[in-house]
Copies of this chain bind each other. A is one copy, B any other.
Amino acid sequence: MFPKLDPLLHSELRLAVMSILAGVDEADFTYLKKQTGATSGNLSVQIDKLTAAGYITVEKGFKGKMPRTTCKITPAGQEAFSKYVEALKEYLSAGK
């Protein structure tokens, strides 16, 4: 009745990040930070976890002289996100 929720996605910040990445081609660290309102440290850690899970890829480059970290969702990430949304609906709709 209640499917298990992917613990990697069932986290406020990681979910926000994935939600953003699911809708755009790519987004860089600062953009994600602004949109989510997270601290750099927290964002950095959560990005690492999503990367380790294969849900996103990270590319490091420079914008002018400043470092720049660009994130992109992977197909596996898209899939996991969809699954999570579906699973969650089971929880939310049970009340009805």
Contact = CB atoms under 8 A, between A and B. Distances in A.
B19 A94 contact: yes
B12 A5 contact: yes
A39 B37 CA distance: 36
Contacts of A10: 10, 12
Contacts of A20: 94-95
| Total copies of this chain within the assembly | 2
A92 B12 contact: no
Interface residues of A, number: 24
A25 to B, nearest CB: 13
A96 interface: yes
Nearest to A20: B94
Given A1-B35, A2-B36, A16-B2, A23 B91 contact: no
